[in-house]
Structure 1
Amino acid sequence: MTDDRMADIYAAVRLGGANREAARQSLQLLWDQLGTGGEPLSRSVVAHHLADVQDTAEDALLWDTRALDAAFVPGIPLGEGLLGFLPSLYLSLADSHRLVGDFDAARMQLALARGHANILADDAYGQVIRAGVDHVAVLLEAQSTERVAC
């Protein structure tokens, strides 16, 4: 992923703190610009962040699914960036399935997040993802469909 593209993505993401609609529009524009032939990591990151600025759990699930689908392109091996991103993608997908009440799918995605977590370093990012896995597991145990910060 080019540094310019990453800067564009994170500029759009930062908008989400103050203006979710502006973030959604900026990220949607980036998604459209990348197109189906865009670099898999860029597409995956954009879709992942688009999921975060959706108003409904169903729309978030749609974008989380697109984020994971964008990572897997036939004939293109997963690069190191995507490999390190998979636990977060699976975690987000698990949480989205939980929010729509599909607890079986959520458990499956959470197991995949856990299974891929071993590739994460023991740094702040890795700790955040591992804590998120534990948090979603507790919410699943309670069969909660409430939107909470992970």
Structure 2
Amino acid sequence: MTEEMMPRIGAAIELSVRGDREAAREQFTELWAETTDPLHRCMIAHHLADQQEDVREELRWDLVALELASSITDERPTEVGSIVPVRAFYPSLHVNLGDAYRRAGELSLAREHLDLGLAAADALADDEYGRLIKTGLARLAHELESA
């Protein structure tokens, strides 16, 4: 297994950030077919979910990412140069699931994932990524309060 996958995942993420959802979706789909590594697949599924037009497809990919996260060893992220431990993946995975469930009208499941995300938030560092995810959790909490 080579680690050339990480820059390729990064390039697909960049397509998404630039707003080219179709190209990002195509790239993530190709990458998905090329790897069986749980870390790579978790990252791909997590970002591929965001490229979906249909909230049910988004939920499907978010659930795949959550399931894959449980099979990633603590050492694996550092092997690919990540400074984020596996446990720091969970708040983001749960906020995405909570938001998708909210948009699908499944508020009980949305609240469940908000609670799980908040419970896991202590794994986040006080850095840009951690603040981004904590902001997402706060936004989801506010949206669910208003629902």
Quote the RMSD (CA, aligned, Å). 1.7
Write the mapping of 1:33-44 to structure 2, written as runs, cut at 5 A. Answer: 33-34=34-35, 38-44=36-42
Q: What TM-score do you get using the length of structure 2 for normalisation?
A: 0.86
2:53 to 55, 59, 66: 55
Q: Structure 2 vs 1, CA of residues 21 and 120 (structure 1 numbering), >3 Å: closer, same or farther? A: same
Q: What TM-score do the two structures reach when normalised by structure 1?
A: 0.85
Work out whether 1:102 is the aligned partner of 2:100: no
Question: What is the deviation of 1:2?
Answer: 5.8
In terms of mean alpha carbon deviation, does 87-96 or 11-20 score higher?
Answer: 11-20
Find out whether 1:6 has 2:1 as its counterpart: no
Gaps of 5+ in 2: 78-84
Share of identical aligned residues, percent? 40
- Give the partner amino acid of 1:141: E
What secondary structure does 2:4 align onto?
A: helix
Look up the match of 1:146.
none
Query: Is the CA contact (8 Å cut-off) linking 1:51 and 1:62 kept in structure 2?
Result: yes
Match of 1:139 in 2: 143
Q: Distance in 1 between matches of 2:74 and 2:61?
A: 20
4+ aligned runs moved over 6 Å, structure 1: none
Matching residue within 114, 118, 124 for 2:122: 118
Contact map agreement 2:100 2:110 (CA 8 A) in 1: yes
Distance of aligned partners of 1:19 and 1:94 in 2 relative to their CA distance in 1, 3 Å threshold: same
Distance in 2, Cα, partners of 1:25 & 1:48: 14
Structure 1 residue 3: deviation in Å?
A: 4.5
The answer to whether 1:30 aligns with 2:31 is: yes
What letter matches 1:13 in structure 2? I
Give a deviation string over 1:80-117, Cα, whole Å, max 9, x none.
63211111111111111111010000101111100010
C-alpha separation between the residues in 1 aligned to 2:115 and 2:105? 17
